[in-house]
Amino acid sequence: MLQTLKTYFGYDSFRPLQENIIRHILAKKDSLVLMPTGGGKSICYQLPAILSDGTTVVVSPLISLMKDQVESLQANGIYARAMNSANNETENLILRKECLEGKVKLLYISPERLLMEMNFLLKDMKISLFAIDEAHCISQWGHDFRPEYTQLKSIREQFPQVPIVALTATADKITREDIIKQLDLKEPEVFISSFDRPNLNLTVKRGFQQKDKTRAILEFIKQHPGECGIIYCMSRDKTEKVAEMLEKYGITTTVYHAGLNAKARDKAQDDFINDRVQVVCATIAFGMGIDKSNVRWVIHYNMPKSIESFYQEIGRAGRDGLKSDTLLFYSLGDLVMLSKFAIDSGQQDINLEKLNRMQQYAESDICRRRILLNYFGENMEHDCGNCDVCRNPPERFDGSIIVQKALSAIARTNQQIGTRMLVAILRGNYFQELTEKGYDKLKTFGAGRDVPQQDWMDYLLQMLNMGYIEVAYNENNHLKITPSGVKVLYGQEKAMLVVIKREEKTPNKGKKKKAEKESKPMFNAITLSDEGMDKELFEELRVLRKRLADEQGIPPYIILTDKTLHLIAIQRPTTLEAFGMVSGIGEYKKEKYGKVFVEAIRNFLQ
């Protein structure tokens, strides 16, 4: 098994559970595999496929996922093909023949197509294993339910002797049980790996208004020159606005949301996968079909509605295991809006609870990773050291006077105002509605002039989270004082607020970069964890990789992952032999790319 792993995939050891899973499959037993995105699920069925006689049939929900997997396998010299609606009849004819001859090691197939072929092609082939990828699609409890998947039941009926492995990154218990039941898995072993993604850095920025977000995003991207990332936004409109802003600063960006037609969506996805644009601004519609391993960062422009969504979205960064950054903006406006959605959703209790847990994550002053893993039922006993709280624990100060000013203003308006009016009163701003109501005559009018507007928004969010105020969603979002707020208002209790830190500077509006030619990667620098790595060499190798990718019409990360490229730049192999030792280089890639890379390194060193 290890030999095969090295020969075909170029890796020296298995990740936790992979070996057990593979043994189990080779013993022809059923299994359910739960691993986070990037955990290494594919190898669990690809290695048995190589080691077994016949063909492994992989059911996959999306053409783009199949394409990516097939290209990756072929790039490692493994004969894989896909059968789906993207094929024409001639292709299918050839493919059928190859399947019957037993040439195809892995056949990726859509669920619809699988059903069509159940009594024809599949009956005449020698099938070693059925792998059901994204198996949560079978369950109504999962978040990507696909009716076609429910018919996969018939696999067990038609092929009782072939083992089945179901794989998913969705951890919850109901979904798990549902998958086992619906696929009729026989005494399956359930393999659950840790859901920790230690390479993902977690950061939250609280209370940023649009301008601050813009500034912070530009600064963030400046810290990630040339590295691809996703910005998730709550609305279609926002994706376009953010993209427009980035383009203005010379950052190549595309947009993806459900309002675009299929062609435009495909193009956006394709541009992103092939490193033709650096950033995609997207709604949650984006991501399921993305196996791109070199997404280096994910920003949430708005807070997601649950930890599940959040974890899935940030999980799209760093699949190759290299350090990647995630940044979440969290503001009062988002919270109000999301609460309203939850209340109107028809499943108020559960959705509010989910939102509540998300909010706790965003507000946490303990290690954020502990909160995430705890949410997924995993106990983590130490702080992670790779989140903003671990790196920079929040400081608190006695903010009782600030809180009292706000509460007093709310009280003096008979709790009939929302946040904007409250801040206007505190800051002493005049405007028509305020003076009409006589709020400029209140004793608290202008009492908080010394605190900037933005900071007021932050403190109000903190007050909300500490339970001093609540938002009456059914009363125009007016603010109400809670019993614990009353205690602070009357000086019976202290309010310890978190010190606000804002470190971002405004980057200069950049010189617009010219669109670069296809054959060059559009980016020109790299900031990976680069101990001992020569950036110039890495850059040269990256250009070489992009050229090879363009020549073959496949994405650069399929030629070599960022991680492997990174290792090459550190180890600087100058012989074919040494090149083949680099993790991620199997026999096939050694033969195919060894010479050009070794040559490039030799030239560089000279």
Give contact residues for ligand ADP (rule: CB under 6 A).
11, 14-15, 18, 35, 37-43, 293, 319-321, 561
For the bound state, the minimum distance from the C-beta of residue 77 to ligand ADP, rounded and expressed in Å, comes to 14
User: Which residues contribute to the site for Zn ion (CB under 5 A)?
Assistant: 367, 369, 383-384, 387, 390
Instruction: Return the one option of Zn ion, ligand ADP, none that residue 367 interacts with (CB less than 5 to 8 A, by type).
Output: Zn ion
CB closer to ligand ADP, 485 vs 586: 586
CB closer to ligand ADP, 14 vs 468: 14
For the bound state, the minimum distance from the C-beta of residue 132 to ligand ADP, rounded and expressed in Å, comes to 13
CB closer to Zn ion, 182 vs 324: 324
Question: How far apart are alpha carbons 308 and 136 in whole angstroms?
Answer: 13
Sequence-ordered alpha helix ranges (H) in 437-530: 453-465, 483-489
For the bound state, the minimum distance from the C-beta of residue 385 to Zn ion, rounded and expressed in Å, comes to 6
For the bound state, the minimum distance from the C-beta of residue 570 to ligand ADP, rounded and expressed in Å, comes to 16
User: Of 267, 294, 204, 269, which Cα lies nearest the Cα of 559?
Assistant: 294
CB closer to ligand ADP, 213 vs 545: 545
Instruction: Return the one option of ligand ADP, Zn ion, none that residue 295 interacts with (CB less than 5 to 8 A, by type).
Output: none
Question: How far apart are alpha carbons 23 and 1 in whole angstroms?
Answer: 9
For the bound state, the minimum distance from the C-beta of residue 375 to Zn ion, rounded and expressed in Å, comes to 14
User: Of 212, 244, 205, 235, which Cα lies nearest the Cα of 326?
Assistant: 205
- Specify burial of residue 489 (Cβ count, 10 A radius: 0-12, 13-18, 19+): buried
For the bound state, the minimum distance from the C-beta of residue 297 to Zn ion, rounded and expressed in Å, comes to 18
User: Of 230, 166, 149, which Cα lies nearest the Cα of 35?
Assistant: 166
Instruction: Return the one option of ligand ADP, Zn ion, none that residue 384 interacts with (CB less than 5 to 8 A, by type).
Output: Zn ion
CB closer to ligand ADP, 39 vs 448: 39
CB closer to ligand ADP, 204 vs 582: 582
CA torsion 121-122-123-124 (nearest 10°) is 60
Instruction: Return the one option of Zn ion, ligand ADP, none that residue 333 interacts with (CB less than 5 to 8 A, by type).
Output: none
Instruction: Return the one option of ligand ADP, Zn ion, none that residue 604 interacts with (CB less than 5 to 8 A, by type).
Output: none
Asked whether 80 and 108 are in contact (CB, 8 A), the reply is yes
CB closer to ligand ADP, 363 vs 562: 562
β-pair type (396-398, 469-472)? unpaired
**C-alpha angle with apex 186: 185 to 190, nearest 5 degrees?**
70
Beta carbons within 10 angstroms of residue 327's beta carbon: 22
Instruction: Return the one option of Zn ion, ligand ADP, none that residue 561 interacts with (CB less than 5 to 8 A, by type).
Output: ligand ADP
For the bound state, the minimum distance from the C-beta of residue 153 to ligand ADP, rounded and expressed in Å, comes to 24
Written as one string, the DSSP assignment of 13-60 is SPPTTHHHHHHHHHTT--EEEE--TTS--HHHHHHHHHHSSSEEEEE-
Instruction: Return the one option of Zn ion, ligand ADP, none that residue 390 interacts with (CB less than 5 to 8 A, by type).
Output: Zn ion
Q: What is the DSSP letter of 283?
A: -
